[in-house]
């Protein structure tokens, strides 16, 4: 099966919304304390430049679900469903034993 996706880019509105959410979340975290920090461009106050504000377990769970509505996806074909091919799985096309039983 050929991959028909050329590019996946986050939508600007989704990025802006996430940054607002993240800055609110980070207000409860240690990074926003009044000390100089790499996360605040070596300033005592200001915008925190962290990628994610939750636990690594939470981050992993969040990544398990792809929110396609937050991205612009460019396809190689004019029809985004071309990847579905003949409607048969690769195993079916090969005539593998367990599929035939």
* Domain residue ranges in the chain: 5-100
CA 16 – CA 94 distance, rounded (Å): 46
Longest dimension (CA), the chain: 68
The pLDDT score that the predictor gives to residue 45 is 81
Give 8-58 pLDDT, tens digit per residue: 999 999 999 999 998 888 888 877 778 888 778 888 887 888 778 888 999
Return the DSSP state at 77: S
Closest listed residue to residue 3, CA positions, set 71, 66, 84:
84
Give 54-86 pLDDT, tens digit per residue: 889 999 999 999 899 999 999 888 888 877 777
pTM: 0.65
Q: Checking DSSP bridges between strand 5-10 and strand 71-75, what pairing results, if any?
A: antiparallel
Q: CB of 52 within 8 A of CB of 59?
A: yes
């Amino acid at each position: 099966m050929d991959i028909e996706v050329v590019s996946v880019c986050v939508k600007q509105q989704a990025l802006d919304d996430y940054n607002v959410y993240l800055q609110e979340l980070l207000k409860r975290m240690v990074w926003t304390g009044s000390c100089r920090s790499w996360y605040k461009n070596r300033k005592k106050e200001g915008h925190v430049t962290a990628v994610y504000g939750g636990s690594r377990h939470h981050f992993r769970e969040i990544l398990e679900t792809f929110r396609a509505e937050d991205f612009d996806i460019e396809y190689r074909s004019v029809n985004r469903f071309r990847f579905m091919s003949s409607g048969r799985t690769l195993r079916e096309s090969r005539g593998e034993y367990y599929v035939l039983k």
